[in-house]
Chains A and B, each alone.
Chain A
Amino acid sequence: MSLRGKRQELIEVFGRIPLYLHTLLLLIPIGWMVVTSMKSLQDLYTNPMGLPTQWHVGNFIKAVQVGRLQIYFKNTLIVEVLTLSCTLLVASFVAFVLSRFRFRGREFLYLFFTAGYMISLHSVLIPLYEIARSLNAFNNLAFLSLVYSAFEIPFSVLVLTNFMSQVPKEIEESAIIDGCGYWGVFTKVVMPLSRDGILAVATLVALHAWNELLLALVMLNNPSSRTLPVGLRGFFAEHLSQPTLLFAAALVVSIPIMALYALLQERFVQGITLGALKG
């Protein structure tokens, strides 16, 4: 057997161990969560790590009802749509200008926009709170989305400028010769050719908005305007002694995103990679 083959074998044998170990580490809690979500409370107390005596599928419906999950779902969806549309719109405009025009102060503007990624939402929580107070924008999902968009600008501009600057000058020039105005160049040339970048940004922005807890917690007091993270947190805090119910809720909430992930796996990964590394 050649040296290469033997080495390959060795590494295959030993190399698999860490990979499978990590897989187990990830799958065991999830599996346990799934199994426990269909137990009754009695089962949980008597046999925490085993299988249920009866499979209580009704737990899921109960979880949605008691937890009022549909409200939180709706609100999160609203925030997602608003944040995505606003971020993509605004960031692509800025990236377009920064990548395809030449003017004084362009470098400064680029730095100005992208340096903002050092500023985290958490550190400006208090001033944002003050702004919300003066605008009476508490419980306002649109305002929350605006804030999310604003903080996604640095990263989005970074990635999109990168992508847009790669569109060849010739295509742009021929479009102008054909009579396209700047708007035409933007919509018909640059945007379509930056599709990968746009999808990358969209994936990451969507993921961030989906998961954001702190600002939503501070802004959304009214239970009927809460997003999923905030609503779930409150729900969990109220019923800590009923993990079966709470796991059912957790599962109901997670299944859509897991399904989405399963279907669009490539996109997700591409988004993360292109975004973080090429940016």
Chain B
Amino acid sequence: MKGAVITLVFGFLAFLLVGWNGICAQEKLVIRIMDYFVPTDTLAPHFEEVFRKFEVDFPNVRVQHEGLESADFRTKLAVEMAAGNPPDISYVVVGLSWEYGEQGLLMNLAPVFEQEREWRDTIVPTAIKAFSTPDGKIYAVPFVAQIGGLYYNKNVYERAGIAGPPTTWDELLEQVEKIKKVGAYAFVTGGKEWRYAWFITQLLVRTAGVDRVYQLARGSEVTGWNKPENGFIDALYLFKELIDAGAFPEGLNGIPRDIARMMFVQNQVAMYYEGSWKVNVWKNLGGEDFLNNSVGWSLFPAVPKAKGDQDGMVGGPVHGWGISAKLDETKKPLVIELVKRITSPVMAARFLENAQPVVVKVDESVMARLHPILLRQFEEYNKAQKVALPTDVICVPPVDNAIKKIAVPGIVDGSLTPEEAAEEVNREAEKYFSAKQ
């Protein structure tokens, strides 16, 4: 059995080699950047271009790009942060940037911006303000904003004999009935990945108002989710109305986001409420013709019986690039340089072309080439007096999770009443904020 022994020894050597290799490959300086731009994303090649050029300009550096699928990315980032091992650069939402910044995991960029005024001035001032904490610290470079609205499928509307998007809640309910009659659904979303945040925030804006939303997420009402006067229970009741009216497909809690999008593109669903990036999704999944001819956009209908802001929108500066606070002095300037490059006007233009509104100032010519729907969104956003950020951006993680993974799914499958659901969310809020004291 000499053969066996040789194989075993050989294997062991291979083993040592692989392990060793892992250690030896450290001669180059590695910059790790983590986001949700997977290799097949339309923006991925642009990132690659920037990275390769960076590696040419700085030959002792290797850029390791970890683009993970959205739901995975949120989990993985949380895990890495928890491990105290933040990626050098990470694509964070503003709420998380505050969370991680306070934990000392993300670098406070205020001093950096002080020094690099030129860079800072390329970013829209309201975005910097939105990303800053009350005491002036800022833990991510603001980059992308989103604007929420109602996308509607003109083909389905035609089939159902509907002229245009609803302007009031009652109109919406009427439309739900007409749409059901032709065998389609009024709304859909990726229930499997708990993509409820935008919708529920919009309802909350209607029932509680933009200011109250902020108070619930970060301000004086952080543990007031279960109080009727704060409107969250009403928002859940509105959602329940839609569920009971059959506006969503059955088994919503199990529908994957990809399938939900496909249903919209396949003319099985009339409306889809989410942010600006969906414009690009409709183009990729349904083709340019579909986007240009069959997709419309409008603001969410008013809910006269609700006590909040009937013209309030959901959106604002959402994503930014966070830099690890644990960088040593040699790495810091390199990382900052890389971040500057991925937020350059060129990259900003690319993002815009992919329906990701940026908060970086871009050339007029770029703006002119954008899709009319996007331009309309910008118009409405700039006009709007009241805008709230969605709950998955602004709330602390346990509360965000409680809303989208416990409360809303419970309403969807009827296992929770709105009061119970609000109670669940509040419980998480109380647990979190009491631990903080």
Contact = CB atoms under 8 A, between A and B. Distances in A.
Contacts of B24: none
A241 B261 contact: yes
Interface in B62-119: 64, 66-69, 71-72, 76, 79-80, 83-85
B69 A45 contact: no
Interface in A74-118: 78, 81-82, 84-86, 88-89
B76 A221 contact: yes
A234 B8 contact: no
B258 A143 contact: no
B39 interface: yes
Interface string A40-82: 0000010000000000000000000010100000000010011
Interface string A134-176: 0001011111010000000000000000000000000000000
A239 interface: yes
Given A141-B18, A187-B1, A221-B66, A85 B258 contact: no
B76 to A, nearest CB: 6
Interface string B30-60: 0000100011100000000000000000000
A145 B19 CA distance: 10
B1 A191 contact: yes
B8 A78 contact: no
A221 B73 CA distance: 9
Contacts of A240: 256-259, 262
Interface string B1-38: 11011011011101100110010000000000010001
B11 A89 contact: yes
Given A88-B8, A129-B79, A234-B69, 20 more contacts: A78-B18, A82-B11, A85-B8, A85-B11, A85-B15, A133-B83, A141-B22, A142-B15, A145-B15, A187-B2, A191-B1, A191-B4, A192-B1, A223-B39, A234-B38, A239-B40, A239-B258, A241-B258, A241-B259, A241-B261
Nearest to A237: B69
Interface residues of B, number: 39
Nearest to B17: A142
Contacts of B215: none
Nearest to B285: A241
Residue with the highest number of chain A CB atoms closer than 10 Å, among B68, B80, B257: B68
B19 A45 contact: no
A223 B66 contact: yes
A79 to B, nearest CB: 10
B258 A142 contact: no
Nearest to A225: B22
A9 interface: no
A68 B8 contact: no
B266 interface: yes
Contacts, number: 90
25 contacts: A78-B18, A82-B14, A82-B15, A85-B8, A85-B12, A133-B84, A141-B22, A142-B15, A142-B18, A142-B22, A188-B1, A191-B4, A191-B5, A192-B1, A192-B4, A221-B34, A221-B66, A221-B80, A222-B66, A223-B68, A234-B72, A237-B256, A238-B69, A238-B258, A241-B261
A137 B18 CA distance: 12
A32 to B, nearest CB: 18
Contacts of B7: 85
A236 B150 CA distance: 28
Give 3 nearest A-B pairs by CB, closest first: A85-B11, A240-B258, A142-B19
Contacts of B40: 66, 238-239
A264 to B, nearest CB: 17
B11 to A, nearest CB: 2
Interface in A192-222: 192, 195, 198, 218, 221-222
B71 to A, nearest CB: 7
A82 B10 CA distance: 10
A115 to B, nearest CB: 26
B12 A89 contact: yes
B88 to A, nearest CB: 13
A85 B170 CA distance: 68
A266 B271 CA distance: 56
A40 B203 CA distance: 40
B1 A86 contact: no
Contact of A45 (B38, B84, B266): B266
A150 to B, nearest CB: 14
Contacts of B66: 221-223
A117 B72 CA distance: 30
Contacts of B12: 85-86, 89
B35 to A, nearest CB: 12
A68 B39 contact: yes
Contacts of B72: 234, 237
Contacts of A86: 11-12, 15
Given A82-B14, A89-B11, A187 B5 contact: yes
A225 to B, nearest CB: 9
Interface in B254-283: 256-259, 261-262, 266
Nearest to A137: B22
Given A140-B19, A240-B259, A81 B1 contact: no
B64 A238 contact: no
Contacts of A68: 39
Nearest to B67: A223
Interface string A237-253: 11111000000000000
A240 B262 CA distance: 9
B90 to A, nearest CB: 12
A241 to B, nearest CB: 4
Interface string B218-250: 000000000000000000000000000000000
Contact of A221 (B38, B39, B68): B68
B258 A82 contact: no
B229 to A, nearest CB: 41
A82 B69 CA distance: 29
Nearest to A183: B5
B256 to A, nearest CB: 5
Given A223-B39, A234-B69, A143 B1 contact: no
A275 B409 CA distance: 44
With a 10 A CB-CB cut-off, give which of A45, A84, A137, A241 has the most chain B CB atoms: A241
A238 B426 CA distance: 33
Nearest to B80: A221
B18 A82 contact: yes
A120 to B, nearest CB: 20
A49 to B, nearest CB: 17
